[in-house]
Amino acid sequence: MGKVHILILFVFNSWLVSSVDWAQGNPEIRYHAVLQLNDRRSIPFEVTYTAGKQPSLSIHNGEERIDLRFLVEKNDSIYMEFPEIAGKIIFHKQTLSGQWINLNKSNPTSYPFLFYTVAEGIDHRFDLPLDLAAPIFEGIYDVIFTDSEGDAKAIGVFKQQGSNIDGTFRTETGDYRYLSGGVFNGVMKLSCFDGVHAFLFEAAMDADDSTVMRGNFYSGSKYHATWTGVLNPNARLTPPNAISWPNEPLAVLNITIKTKKGKEKTLSTDFFHGKPSVVQLMGTWCPNCLDESKYFIELSKQGSFKDIRFIGIGFENGNSDKDRMARLKKYQKKMGFTYPVYLGGGASTKDAHAVFNQLNGVFSFPTTIFLDKKGRIVQVNSGFDGPATGVFYKSMQEETERLLLKLLQADE
């Protein structure tokens, strides 16, 4: 960290102490939070914090609230962990500054983190005054992201109340989950931090066309793309079941994976026979997989779907299969899985396709394979429209449950 950044933190810290003293009697207070990802880029977001013997810290992204778990206090530092995703936040209880420890990659990474109160009338998320009269950004947009590798299509979905905006981007590999922010000096700013993603989006309307916006997208410490959105309520993506498919129609799924004990196990006709099955290709490092897992866990508890066989196949970061399996076991316990999860391999679509080589390819996490009562592949879905997508999430649920009921009612 350079001298300039040390000075900035010193200025923050010098008045954070007094703000903490003021906060002691308040059960839960909103704060502006910052992740310093490199010497040029920081990601702003919002937290609520309660001090005390059992302190609490929650991260807010629009409708999403992530309640971290208090672990311990050591030398006036508070240690918190994320409830499902692997990672910790450690901060000094007086200065409210510390580190985010990202444990989702093979080797841990850490980034400076701090939070502080803002002046009355200032937006907690961006520490800026919201516009009193804001341009209208609400709507559904055809979006093109452009980076060094080319163009990628997405759909922007934004809801606006006054100068406050929540939204997300849908893509063919999943959604960008809960984005939140507002309009500041005519510019829409949205951010998200969920323990894996650290996103910042900015855009302004074209001066000559209020149906077109252009801006920048920053992710993590290195990634940058420009993007253009064109208002289009009929924007469409390739359907999730038209991206990946079996090389042979109605092929019986046959895969070899590893059990919790590290032993190889083949899942084929004998394993899948008799019940429709849902096979989830996922990773503990993947927030879209987290959203899908929560949905499947709840679905598996419903009486209408008690005869559906759900299984998860994890593709994990780690320096060995033992490390990868340990990550899966911890995740399973945190999530309260109602169905078995096996290890497929490393955290890449290449590794996933090596296991699921009966498909034309695996292009996203999650990928979900639906089998009939004979273990035959009847549909493959790429990506996942999570709860942040609103009506698209409800539509996905309805289509999934309709398919499962059809598979249950079909003869063997």
3-state percent breakdown (helix, strand, coil) of the chain, nearest 5: 20, 40, 35
Q: What pLDDT digit, counting tens, does each position of 12-27 carry?
A: 343 343 344 334 455 6
Q: Are residues 225 and 244 in the same domain?
A: no
Q: What pLDDT score was predicted for residue 26?
A: 53
- Total structural domains in the chain? 3
Same domain, 212 and 63: no
- Per-residue pLDDT of 341-360, as tens digits, reads 999 999 999 999 999 999 99
Q: What are the pLDDT digits (tens) for 87-126?
A: 999 999 999 999 999 999 999 999 999 999 999 999 999 9
Residue pair 411/397 in contact (Cβ under 8 Å)? The answer is no
Q: Provide φ and ψ at 49, rounded to 5°.
A: -140, 140
pLDDT at 48 > cutoff 60: yes
The secondary structure of 184-202 as a DSSP string is ETTEEEEEEESSS-EEEEE
Q: What residues contact 202, with CB distance under 8 A and at least 6 apart?
A: 187, 188, 189, 190, 215, 216
Query: What local confidence, expressed as pLDDT, does residue 39 receive?
Result: 85
With respect to residue 322, please indicate whether it lies within any of the assigned structural domains: yes
Q: What is the predicted pLDDT for the residue at 3?
A: 36
Alpha-carbon distance of 213 to 232, in angstroms, equals 12
Residue ending a domain, choose from 192, 213, 231: 231
Same domain for 247 and 373: yes
- pLDDT, one tens digit per residue, over 213-232 is 999 999 999 999 999 999 99
**Residues 10, 38 within the same domain:** yes
* 359: DSSP letter: B
Cβ contact 278:368 at 8 Å = yes
* 265 and 372, same domain (yes or no): yes
The answer to whether residue 131 is domain-embedded is: no
Whole-number mean pLDDT of the chain?
A: 93
The reported pLDDT for the residue numbered 25 is: 53
Residues 170 and 57 in one domain: no
Task: Work out the percent of the chain whose per-residue pLDDT is above 90.
Answer: 92
CA atoms of 178 and 371, how far apart (whole Å): 31
Q: Averaged over 191-216, what is the pLDDT?
A: 97
28 pLDDT tier (thresholds 50, 70, 90): confident
Q: Is 163 helix (H, G, I), strand (E, B) or coil?
A: coil
Look up the pTM and report it. Answer: 0.91
**Residues with Cβ < 8 Å from 263, sequence gap 6 or more?**
none
132 part of a folded domain: no
Residue 125, domain member (yes or no): no
pLDDT tens-place string over residues 151-191? 999 999 999 999 999 999 999 999 999 999 999 999 999 99
Do 279 and 395 reside in the same domain of the chain?
yes
Is the same domain home to 222 and 294?
A: no
What is the DSSP-derived secondary structure letter of residue 246?
B
**Is the pLDDT confidence value at 237 over 50?**
yes
- With bands split at pLDDT 50, 70 and 90, how would you rate the model's confidence at 5? very low
Question: 50 with 163, same domain?
Answer: no
Cβ neighbours for 248, distance < 8 A, ≥ 6 positions apart: 358
Q: What is the CATH number of the domain that holds 69?
A: 2.40.128
Q: What confidence category does residue 6 fall into, taking pLDDT thresholds of 50, 70 and 90?
A: very low
The torsion region of residue 220 among left (phi > 0), alpha (psi -120 to 50) and beta comes to left
Dig out the tokens for 152 from the structure.
């990628």
262-316 pLDDT, tens digit each: 999 999 999 999 999 999 999 999 999 999 999 999 999 999 999 999 999 999 9
Q: Residues 175, 274: one domain? A: no
Element (H, E) at 334: helix 321-335
- Whichever domain contains 161, its CATH number is 2.40.128.120
Domain span at residue 144? 139-231
CATH classification of the domain holding 391: 3.40.30.10
C-alpha neighbours within 13 Å on the C-beta side of residue 15: 7
Tell me which H or E stretch contains 218: strand 212-219
Secondary structure (DSSP) of 250-297: TPBP-EEEE-TTS-EEEESHHHHTTS-EEEEEE-TT-HHHHHHHHHHH
Instruction: Give the SS3 label for residue 99.
Output: strand
379-400 per-position pLDDT tens digit: 999 999 999 999 999 999 999 9
Distances in Å between the Cα of 335 and the Cα atoms of 80, 168, 261, 291 are 17, 24, 20, 11
| The pLDDT of residue 15 | 37
The answer to whether residue 392 sits within a structural domain is yes
Give a yes or no: residue 38 inside a domain: yes
Residues 254 and 219 grouped into a single domain: no
Contacts of 405 (CB under 8 A, 6+ apart): 304
